[in-house]
Amino acid sequence: MEKGKIIILSGPSGSGKTTLHQKLLQSPAFKGKLVKSLSATTRLPRVGEKNGRDYLFLSKEDFLDKQKRGEFLEFMQVFENYYGTPKDKVDAALKKGKSVLLCIDVKGAKVVSSKYPDAVKVFVKTPTLADLKKRLSKRGTESSKDLELRFKFAKAELKEAKHYHHVVVNGSLAHAYRDLARILNKEIFKKAVLAKSAAKKST
């Protein structure tokens, strides 16, 4: 049986990592091989977000109860809210030989790496900070106070990119997705994917 791996995706809010990870999970190439770790959070759902699909939305009390029972692989307080990775789902998927995708912040990534040293860490960022600011404001899901907080946090997170195995620059979604899919193909299946141009030349 193939051995599953933990794939960690981090990057500032607005870098496009949510869209990228959703695309990965929908791709036939990774179907049945890659599963998402559904994080728990105490933050309120955004418009369009669904409990059990995007996050497990919990009250602070329920979250802290789970934390006390040791149910999280890691948990962090990010932007005044708690976020955590439920441990049971990750272990169950790995046992079945599946890889697990964790979309978590840089501090959580450090904790997971210390527990699973062969976890692969991928950092997603925008080409510039100005691009990030533009994307965050365009999203329109946060208050201006929250936006400022996320932007400040992003600057600190970007400093951590150098500790990641791979950095994907999301200037265009198509290119970033192609780069990310190549990384995962290599890391999960040990398969180097030919660049389109190279593949064309050989046909």
Binding mask 179-198 for ligand 5GP (x = CB under 6 A): --------------------
Query: Within 128-157, which residues bind ligand 5GP (CB under 6 A)?
Result: none
- Is 83 a binder of ligand 5GP (CB under 6 A)? yes
| Beta-bridge partner residues of 125 | 169
* Range in contact with ligand 5GP (rule: CB under 6 A) among 57-65, 71-79, 166-174, 192-200: 71-79
Which stretches of 55-172 are DSSP H helices? Answer: 60-68, 87-95, 106-115, 129-139, 144-158
Give the interface size with ligand 5GP as a residue count (CB under 6 A): 13
Sheet holding 120-125, edge to edge: 34-36, 99-103, 6-10, 120-125, 166-169
Q: In terms of Cα–Cα distance, which of 82, 52, 80 is closest to 64?
A: 82
Q: In terms of Cα–Cα distance, which of 71, 76, 169, 156 is closest to 123?
A: 169
- Is 85 a binder of ligand 5GP (CB under 6 A)? yes
Structure tokens of 57? Answer: 């939305």
* Range in contact with ligand 5GP (rule: CB under 6 A) among 23-31, 80-88, 175-183, 192-200: 80-88
Answer whether 94's CB lies under 8 Å from 10's CB: no
Query: Within 19-58, which residues bind ligand 5GP (CB under 6 A)?
Result: 39, 43
CB of 43 to ligand 5GP, least distance (A): 5
Interface positions with ligand 5GP (CB under 6 A): 13, 39, 43, 74, 76, 78, 83-85, 103-105, 108
